[in-house]
Amino acid sequence: MIRISTSRTLKGGVSLFLFGFGLSLLSTFSLMAQDRGERPQNQGERTERPERPAQQSERMQRPAQEPVALDFESITITGRDGIETMIDDVSRIVTIGGSVTEIVYALGFGPNVVGTDITSTYPRQVFMLPRLGALRQSSAESILSLDPSIVITTTALSPPAVAQQVRDAGVPVLIVDEATSVELAKRRIQDVGEALRSADKATDIITAMETQLAEAATIQAEMDVKPSVLFIYTRGAAMVNVSGKGTGADAIVELAGGQNVITQYEGYRPLTAEAAVSSQPDIILAPSHGVEMLGGMENFMNQPGLKLTPAAKNGHVRAVDTGMLLSFGPRLGEGVLALTRDMQRMMSE
């Protein structure tokens, strides 16, 4: 080791010469190391492990934002599957389910999200992240490949064994409601807010939702006619179904001030020309992503019997934002209010 002294001029000159000579040697070694594709190391520095492909992909795709709440205080919360989950690190969140992803972002934890599933389409930043399979087609291996500190998903996660497999690997999994009602939607926001120690922010989101729903109800009270609505749930040509009672679509129609024309059964059944024509709907609704999968509105209207309905003849056919409405997420109130106003305009024409 070279000792530098400044006590005397001569020694100082010699020392400076030696110091410069040492820097020159260090620079030469550094260049040699770079030529070999290596990084020069300080004495005692730990050699870094090569990044896994998933990590390299994440580094390229993840938005350049610093994670929040790195000093997170641990909390234990019981999920809607009845299992207690201790959360002590929220620096790497994986969300599975579009509604859950929206809630986490709305609470301000978007910078901490390192991966989502393909049902997550809002906000647009999610498309810059690694994408897992669908909520109901999950795998523990793909989830764990993202090295999460916490996984947040809903009771719809499938196969059911996936959650336990992730837990067995030492990663906490919080299960919240799969909502198809306003009350469950609000409870889900509260649960995620509590888990992320953001209960006040969750309350603000719920309050805004309630205000928008109340405004929609005021508009509906002024409408002379309650429109009859046929909601067609489609995910391409292989799945074109009519939404019956007890479905999320049925709940949305009611929230927006309409009445579902299908009252004979619960759940979904394939669309037939007879069902479409006999229902005589004032309005036809369909999820926007489903219409796109069919190739657009023109192809959608070629489905059995739709062109023969009053809704089609009057131009009262709408593709609605799937994520905003059917996921029952933080934007539910906004979506219901917009749909209510649109239905009011259609019925006044």
Contact 132, 117 (CB under 8 A): yes
pLDDT at residue 96 tops 80: yes
pLDDT digits (tens, 9 = 90+) for 251-280: 999 999 999 999 999 999 999 999 999 999
Q: How far apart are CA 231 and CA 213, in angstroms?
A: 20
Confidence of residue 136 (pLDDT cuts 50, 70, 90): confident
Strand 228-234 and strand 259-260: the pairing is parallel
Average pLDDT over residues 31-50: 35
In the chain, the percentage of residues whose pLDDT exceeds 70 is: 82
Q: 100 or 21: which carries more pLDDT confidence?
A: 100
What integer pLDDT is reported at residue 39 of this predicted model? 33
All structural domains of the chain: 75-197 (3.40.50.1980), 224-348 (3.40.50.1980)
- Calpha distance 208→212 (Å, rounded): 6
Helix ranges, the chain (H): 9-35, 53-61, 98-106, 140-144, 161-168, 182-195, 199-221, 248-255, 273-279, 288-293, 297-301, 310-313, 322-325, 332-348
Supply the pLDDT for residue 10: 34
Q: Does residue 319 sit in helix, strand or coil?
A: strand
Mean pLDDT is lowest, of 16-20, 166-170, 198-202, 203-207, for 16-20
Identity (one letter) of the amino acid at 104?
V
**Nearest Cα residue to 332 out of 212, 161, 234:** 212
b/e sequence 244-260, b meaning 16+ C-beta within 10 Å: beebbbbbbbebbbbeb
The 8-class DSSP code of residue 225 comes to: S
Spatial contact of 213 and 292, defined as CB atoms under 8 Å apart: no
The H or E element spanning position 117 is strand 113-117
The stretch 92-103 carries a mean pLDDT of 97
Q: Could you give the CA distance from residue 187 to residue 169 in angstroms, rounded to a whole number?
A: 28
Contact 297, 268 (CB under 8 A): no
Tokens of 260: 């579902």
Are 305 and 273 in contact, with CB atoms under 8 Å apart? yes
**Given this model, what pLDDT does residue 79 score?**
97
**Bridge partner residues of 154 (DSSP):** 176
96 touches 113 (CB < 8 A) = no
- With 0-12 CB in 10 A as exposed, 13-18 as middle and 19+ as buried, what is 305? middle
**How confident is residue 65, by pLDDT bands cut at 50, 70 and 90?**
confident
The pTM (predicted TM-score) of the whole model is 0.80
- Mean pLDDT over the full length of the chain: 85
C-alpha pair distances (Å), 74 with each of 83, 172, 203, 266: 16, 12, 21, 43
- The per-residue DSSP string of 66-110 comes to --S-TTPPPEEEE-TTS-EEEE---SSEEE-SHHHHHHHHHTT-G
pLDDT exceeds cutoff 90 at 41:
no
Q: Is it the case that residue 1 has pLDDT exceeding 50?
A: no
Respond yes or no on whether the N-terminal peptide bond of residue 123 is cis (omega within 30° of 0). Answer: yes
pLDDT at position 174: 98
Q: Are 179 and 221 in contact (CB under 8 A)?
A: no
**Which of 15-19, 22-26, 39-43, 268-272 is least confident?**
39-43
Q: Cα(first)–Cα(last) distance of the chain, in Å?
A: 89
Across residues 235-241, what is the average pLDDT?
A: 90
Give the integer Cα–Cα distance in Å for 196 and 75: 9
